[in-house]
Each structure stands twice: as C-alpha cells, then as structure tokens.
C-alpha cells in the first residue's frame, strides 16, 4: 500500500479543485487502511481535513491543529458529542441562524443528524417532523426518544397528550389531527420532501402538499430534506427558502459493478450470480427486487439454492412466524436461510424486527426489498444488488436508482459500498423537482388565505367549488369543515360528487347506521356502496376489502393465524391480507370518516358512525395495542400481557401515554416473567423496551 503516492494524487486533485475525485480516492485509501488495521499517518489526517471529512480524523496520530479542527466541529447531538463534517456544520450553522433551507444531498450525508444537533442547541418548544412512512416514523421516534425524552414528549399517535415541549413525528396523513393543537411551530422538518411532486408520489403528493401548506403557516422556521435533487424549480412551497445542493459531498465511495453485461439477459446466469453474491458470509447485502412478483422469484431461488442455517435469532424468528402468522409462510422459509424481506405492506413490527436482525453479525445476511427500503428506513449495507430496474410496472428512473444505490456504504462501518447491477440501470440525468397544486385538491384550499400561491384560474375554481358545496351543506357548515380540517380526502371533486349523491338520493343512505352494528354481517351493503363511490385505488376487488374488514373485526378476540387462515379460504394470501388490512385502516377508515361528516349534515344528524370509524382505523384493536405495534410490540404479545393481568388494554382510559407509563413502572423483568411468552416473544419485549428507554448521557470519554 503506497500511502504517500496516493496522498500525493489526492493533493493533485485538490489543487485542480476536483474535490469529488479527491474525496473518492481518499475514502478508498481509508478502506484499505481499515482492512489492514493500519493507523492513519499525519499525512492522511491532513487529506481528511482538506476534504472536509472531519469525523474520520484519527486523533491518536493527529497534529494539534487537526485535533483542534475535530474539536471545533464537535456538537451536542443529544446526550453525546459528535463531530460533524464540513457541509453538515455549514447547514447546521444556517439553521441556527434562523434560515429556511431545503437541502439536497447524498443518502450518506447525514441530513437527519442535523436535526438532533439543532434541538440540542436551540431547545425549541415545538418541532414537527413529517416523514414518508410509518417505519421511518418509528425509527426517528426511537432515535429522538433516546436523546430527548427527558425534556420532550415525543408524539407519533393522534390521541397523545401534549407536554410543555413536544416533538411531533408523523406521516402527512396524520398532520391534520394535530392542527388545532399546534398554535406555533418552531421548526418544521419535511423529510423526503420530493414526495410532494406528483411525478414521484402521485397517490399521496396532494396530501403532503396540503399538510405542508397548513403547517408552514404556523412555522417560524423550515428545514426540508431530500436526496439527489439537482434543481428545484420555482414553486409556492419553497419560494422563500434557500435551496442548497450538496450532491457532490459524499462520505462513502460507491464501487459500481455491472455483471448484467456478462450474462446478457440469461435468467439462469442472473440467478446464479445473485446466489453467489448473497451466499452466507461476512458481508451484508440489500437486494432491490423492484416488484412483489420479483421478490417471489428471488425467494424461490434462495429456497432452492441456499441451505438452512442454525442461528439463535433467525431460527427462533422463523419458528415464531410460523406459530403466529402462517405455518407454511414463505417468509419463514427465507428467514431460516438468513434472508429477510422488507415491503411497505407487512406489519410494522415485522419490518422493524427484520431491520434489527440485519444489524446483527449472526442475524440476516441479506434483505430483499421493494422500494420501501429506500423510503422506509435509514439502513445501509456493504453490498447493494439491483435485481430489476423496475418500480412496480414502470421502469426505474435515475432519481430512484440513485436513492437505491445510495444505501451502499456507511460512515465508520463500510467506507466502500459495492453496487452490483444485475439489470441495466436507467439513463443518468439531473433530477429537477417540480411541485404544483394538483387540480383535484384546489377545492380544499382557501381563496383568501392561499391567494398568494395560486393563479387567477385556480382561485376561480376554488370559488366555484365553495359555491357548489355551500348550496348543498350551507355556507356555515362549509366554513366549519374547512376551518377545522374535518374532511381528510384532498380530492375536492370526489367530495362534491359524494355530497350531491346524498342530497339527490337520501333514501339510499338509510342503512348507514348499520355500520354501528356489532354484527359484521350487517356491514356489507354500506361498505360496498362507499367502495363503489370511490371506485379506484383499492388495489384489490371490493369483495376482498369487505371480507378483510369483517375478518379483522375480530382482531382482538381471535388469534391472527386464525384470521389469516379464514381469509385464505376466500383466496386472500397472507401478503394480500397485510395490504388489505392497511387499506382498511388507512384509506377506508378515512373515507368513511368523510362520508360520516357529510351524512350528518345532509341526510341524518342523529346517525353517527365515528366510533366505528375509530375502531376501523385501529384495525379493531384497543387503541394502545394498535399504536404499540408502531413501537415494535405486536398484538399477539399485547394479548399475553393483557391475559396475564399486567395491563388492562380494554380500559378506555388506557391510552398510549398511560400504557407507556405503565410499562415503565412495571419494568422489563415483570413483563418477561409472563409464563406464556416464548423465547422470541422475550426478544421482542426487550426490543420494545429499548425503544421506550432513554439513553444514559455519555461523558466526553464515552463519546
């Protein structure tokens, strides 16, 4: 290893201002030194300082000025000190100066880390963080809870009581439940804000735009984060923010290899290469499959070609999956081979547990994923394997491709991320982000409050909608619904057609109150009527949605394995069950909530199904039990805790905050003492308690 010659080459690149190439070469040198367990000479430290990668400085061999720089860029990030790199420090300084900024940087940049440093430095009263998924919500909650729970109430569930200082973390759909209680926001953070673009998230963009619009009016300061955006086009949401593009500041090096050129479409050679790459060893691999059907293909290859491995965590997890979900579940077969699966539909606790097991040396070797791995969690690996250049049925775009390969490498763990392309990548392009108001959401805006962000034509459409809707429900009710953000659907055209249907044919809604029946057999007529009104976007047949709704009505009474077995008789697989339960709890419950509000105004004020809607939104589980799943405690373990008499989840007063307080007063050992808990149940209980237990403050020596 010729350290001096490499440093000379790095210095030459810096002298011609090619810092990206210099940094890439330096990171590869650091990887070589790490493998050889060689301490950094002062010359290497000098190159680290010159490229701005201050956290990599090795203090044992550092000169006084290098030690000074390391200390100068050290900040409190919550209960411990950490050194920021040059660009992180620059972004933090601007935030501390009160600026509104939108930052685009590589996945490995550490954008979220800056939030922790800001909270530790400024001690704001109210921070709101919008994240794209429940999985990322829990990951963010765990990180911030461990650091700031002593001084802040960390809020992720809608019915949580506020404290003197609060950090709210939620996906955009939950934002509207907090609007009335949020008088002032000190810092509004929007993670993955590119999802406000119709191009990147056509289904949820309008809800995110509406959430940003409402929350930003209460925000003193805003910090928006996104990866891989080269240019931000003029738009109403970031017009007074400074866009900072830092895509060339990488902290790891991506070594891209292209095996797809060798096997040229030969499926057998492609499969053999995948098995070669993920065979049990000492490297961790993320496999991007692209679609659910491709996950199945990979699963078949794994089961056929990889042996079962006997490891303490994976063996116990596979057994637990068979007992609690489905005996012959494909996931259990993969887990026995140290391979996990991550997708956006699976129960949250399963996704969290698999990410955790992926971190263990004797846990998973690989995780096969859809796009959920790039937007759902902040995980990374030594190897990223792109199996198929697709997202669902569409071709992978360069923006998403860069997001995927950006999961390769991690500071201090993998200096180099190995990227293996088993399918041709998309054509490289500079991503430009365009955010605009979708026409369908114009009716949910206000022609006065939002006028400065709208065109004259858009304002005319808003006024027309207001007039039409007021003619049906009355001006006073229209103003109330809009002011209180009662209606969750952002599609004004649909809401208008729904109101017209009730006004023109009230007799067709006479059975609406049957949804309050304790007998699910009486729900069919109204569920089918509502599904028919909102015809698209159910990802399954209406009968499947109805069947799963009625089946999960017994979620608290029956074992989950029994419910899954029951719906399988209707042709619904366990994977489809997960998707449909999610559809029912999110989309159908939100839709029925809107229908209920309009029904009370237009048809019959004495019929109110809000209790039914609330139970449906919690998958018919007790409120705390449902929200505890987001904390990593699955319903089957909550049932055992309830049966043991430790916590009465059926008590209406036992909300999430009281439940968490009860857990803390009980302590881990009391829960682990429940005799009905199996070995993996006990592991899950420890994982859950770890997420509700703050870290002890570290001394400078610890850090």
Token digits of residue 265? 């479409």
Between CA 299 and CA 292 the distance in angstroms is 11
Same domain for 412 and 507, yes or no, is no
Contact 166, 126 (CB under 8 A): yes
Contact 401, 389 (CB under 8 A): yes
pLDDT in tens, 517-563: 999 999 999 999 999 888 766 777 999 999 999 999 999 999 999 99
| pLDDT for residue 246 | 93
Structural domain contains residue 613: yes
Same domain for 172 and 226, yes or no, is yes
Burial of 353 (0-12, 13-18, 19+ CB in 10 A): buried
Between CA 422 and CA 387 the distance in angstroms is 5
Domain range for 329 is 272-432
Residue 252 pLDDT > 90 = yes
> Between these two residues, 118 and 199, which has the higher pLDDT value?
118
> Between these two residues, 395 and 187, which has the higher pLDDT value?
187
Between CA 327 and CA 565 the distance in angstroms is 10
Token digits of residue 523? 């729900």
User: The domain that contains 107 carries what CATH number?
Assistant: 3.40.50.300
Q: Name the nearest CA neighbour of 336 among 351, 353, 319.
A: 319
pLDDT in tens, 668-680: 999 999 999 999 9
Contact 85, 52 (CB under 8 A): yes
Same domain for 100 and 236, yes or no, is yes
Same domain for 629 and 667, yes or no, is yes
Structural domain contains residue 659: yes
The share of the chain scoring above pLDDT 70, in percent, equals 96
Band of residue 9 on the pLDDT scale cut at 50, 70, 90: very high
Residue 697 pLDDT > 80 = no
If you average pLDDT over every residue of the chain, what do you get?
A: 90
Euclidean distance between the first and final Cα of the chain, in Å? 31
| pLDDT for residue 702 | 37
Same domain for 224 and 292, yes or no, is no
Phi, psi of 417 (to 5 degrees): -100, 125
| pLDDT for residue 699 | 38
The residue-averaged pLDDT of 638-654 equals 96
Band of residue 482 on the pLDDT scale cut at 50, 70, 90: confident
> Helices 524-533 & 542-552, crossing angle to 10 degrees?
140
Same domain for 298 and 416, yes or no, is yes
Residue 432 pLDDT > 90 = no
| pLDDT for residue 416 | 95
Structural domain contains residue 255: no
Between CA 60 and CA 65 the distance in angstroms is 13
Residue 164 pLDDT > 80 = yes
Please, which residues have CB within 8 angstroms of residue 301's CB and are 6 or more apart in sequence? 271, 274, 275
User: Which of 103-107, 512-516, 642-646, 666-670 has the lowest average pLDDT?
Assistant: 103-107
Same domain for 611 and 533, yes or no, is yes
Between CA 62 and CA 58 the distance in angstroms is 6
User: Can you count the helices (H) and strands (E) in the chain?
Assistant: 30, 19
pLDDT in tens, 202-229: 888 888 988 998 899 899 999 999 988 8
Structural domain contains residue 536: yes
Tell me whether strands 81-83 and 74-76 are parallel, antiparallel or unpaired. Answer: antiparallel
Q: How far out from the chain centre does Cα 154 lie?
A: 16
| pLDDT for residue 700 | 33
Q: pTM of the entire structure? A: 0.90
Band of residue 102 on the pLDDT scale cut at 50, 70, 90: very high
Same domain for 639 and 607, yes or no, is no
Residue 698 pLDDT > 50 = no
Phi, psi of 449 (to 5 degrees): -65, -35
| pLDDT for residue 451 | 65
Q: Structurally, how many domains does the chain consist of? A: 5
- Of 388, 403, 432, which one is at a domain's C-terminal end? 432
Residue 154 pLDDT > 70 = yes
| pLDDT for residue 165 | 96
Same domain for 23 and 98, yes or no, is no
Structural domain contains residue 534: yes
Q: Is 222 helix (H, G, I), strand (E, B) or coil?
A: strand
| pLDDT for residue 108 | 81
Same domain for 98 and 163, yes or no, is yes
Structural domain contains residue 535: yes
Residue 703 pLDDT > 50 = no
| pLDDT for residue 178 | 84
Same domain for 455 and 313, yes or no, is no
Residue environment code for 484-509, b if the CB has 16+ CB neighbours within 10 A, otherwise e: ebebbbbbbebbbebbebbeeeeeeb
Between CA 183 and CA 279 the distance in angstroms is 54
Q: Name the nearest CA neighbour of 33 among 11, 7, 53, 12.
A: 7
pLDDT in tens, 586-625: 899 999 999 999 999 999 999 999 999 999 999 999 999 9
- Of 385, 414, 432, which one is at a domain's C-terminal end? 432
In 10 A of CB 379, how many CB atoms? 21
Token digits of residue 89? 């420090």
The residue-averaged pLDDT of 39-49 equals 94
| pLDDT for residue 377 | 64
- Of 245, 263, 291, which one is at a domain's C-terminal end? 245
The residue-averaged pLDDT of 458-471 equals 88
The residue-averaged pLDDT of 32-48 equals 93
Structural domain contains residue 696: no
Q: Name the nearest CA neighbour of 89 among 104, 74, 105, 79.
A: 74
Between CA 103 and CA 194 the distance in angstroms is 11
Band of residue 481 on the pLDDT scale cut at 50, 70, 90: confident
Same domain for 599 and 458, yes or no, is yes
Structural domain contains residue 358: yes
DSSP at 554? T
Radius of gyration of the chain (CA): 26
| pLDDT for residue 701 | 34
């Amino acid at each position: 290893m010729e350290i001096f010659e490499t440093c000379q080459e790095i210095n030459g690149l810096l002298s011609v201002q090619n810092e990206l190439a210099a940094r890439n070469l330096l990171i590869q040198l650091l990887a070589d030194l790490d493998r050889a367990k060689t301490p950094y000479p002062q010359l290497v430290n000098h190159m680290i300082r010159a490229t701005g990668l201050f956290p990599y400085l090795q203090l044992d061999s550092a000169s006084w000025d290098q030690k000074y720089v390391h200390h100068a860029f050290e900040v409190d990030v919550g209960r411990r000190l950490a050194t920021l790199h040059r660009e992180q420090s620059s972004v933090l300084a601007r935030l501390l100066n009160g600026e509104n900024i939108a930052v685009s940087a590589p996945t490995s940049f550490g954008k979220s880390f800056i939030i922790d440093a800001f909270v530790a430095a400024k001690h704001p009263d109210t921070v709101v963080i919008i994240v794209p998924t429940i999985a990322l919500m829990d990951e963010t909650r765990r990180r911030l809870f461990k650091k700031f729970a002593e001084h802040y109430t960390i809020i992720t569930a809608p019915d949580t009581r506020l404290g003197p200082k609060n950090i709210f973390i939620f996906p955009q759909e939950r934002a509207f439940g907090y609007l009335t209680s949020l008088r002032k926001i000190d810092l509004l953070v929007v993670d993955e804000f590119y999802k406000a673009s119709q191009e990147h998230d056509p289904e949820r963009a309008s809800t995110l735009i509406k959430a940003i619009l409402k929350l930003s009016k209460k925000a003193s300061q805003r910090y928006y984060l996104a990866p891989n955006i080269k240019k931000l086009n003029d738009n109403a949401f970031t017009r007074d923010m400074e866009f900072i593009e830092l895509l060339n500041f990488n902290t790891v090096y991506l070594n891209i290899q292209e095996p797809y050129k060798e096997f040229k479409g030969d499926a057998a050679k492609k499969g053999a290469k995948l098995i070669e790459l993920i065979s049990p060893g000492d490297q961790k691999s993320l496999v991007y499959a692209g679609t659910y059907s491709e996950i199945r293909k990979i699963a078949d290859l794994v089961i056929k070609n990889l042996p079962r491995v006997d490891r303490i965590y994976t063996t116990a997890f596979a057994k637990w999956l068979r007992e609690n979900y489905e005996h012959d579940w494909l996931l259990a077969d993969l887990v026995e081979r140290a391979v996990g699966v991550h997708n956006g539909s699976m129960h949250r606790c399963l996704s969290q547990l698999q990410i955790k097991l992926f971190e263990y040396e004797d846990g998973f070797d690989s995780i096969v994923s859809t796009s959920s791995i790039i937007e759902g969690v902040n995980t990374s690996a030594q190897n990223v394997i792109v199996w198929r250049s697709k997202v669902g049925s569409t071709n992978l775009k360069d923006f998403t491709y860069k997001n995927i390969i950006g999961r390769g490498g991690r500071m201090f763990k993998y200096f180099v991320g190995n990227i293996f392309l088993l399918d041709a990548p998309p054509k490289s392009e500079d991503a430009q982000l365009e955010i605009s108001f979708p026409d369908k959401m114009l009716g949910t805006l206000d022609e006065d409050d939002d006028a400065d962000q709208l065109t004259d034509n858009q304002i005319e459409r808003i006024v027309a909608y207001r007039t039409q809707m007021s003619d049906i429900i009355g001006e006073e009710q229209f103003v109330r619904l809009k002011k209180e953000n009662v209606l969750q659907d952002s599609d004004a055209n649909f809401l208008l057609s729904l109101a017209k249907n009730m006004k023109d044919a009230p007799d067709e809604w006479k059975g609406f109150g049957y949804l309050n029946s304790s007998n699910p057999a009486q729900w069919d007529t109204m569920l089918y009527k509502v599904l028919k009104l909102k015809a698209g976007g159910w990802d399954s047949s209406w009968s499947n949605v109805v069947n799963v709704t009625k089946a999960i009505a017994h979620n608290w009474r029956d074992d989950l394995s029994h419910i899954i077995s029951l719906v399988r008789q209707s042709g619904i697989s366990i994977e489809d069950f997960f998707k449909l339960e999610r559809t029912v709890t999110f989309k159908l419950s939100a839709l029925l909530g809107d229908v209920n509000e309009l029904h009370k105004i237009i048809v019959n004020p004495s019929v109110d199904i809000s209790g039914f809607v609330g139970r449906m939104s919690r998958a018919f589980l007790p409120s705390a039990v449902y929200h505890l799943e987001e904390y990593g405690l699955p319903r089957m373990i909550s049932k055992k805790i309830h049966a043991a008499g430790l916590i009465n989840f059926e008590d209406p007063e036992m909300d999430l905050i009281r439940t968490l307080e009860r857990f803390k007063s009980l302590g881990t050992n009391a829960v682990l003492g429940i005799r009905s808990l199996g070995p993996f149940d006990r592991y899950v209980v420890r994982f859950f308690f770890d997420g509700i237990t703050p870290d002890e403050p570290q001394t400078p020596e610890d850090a």
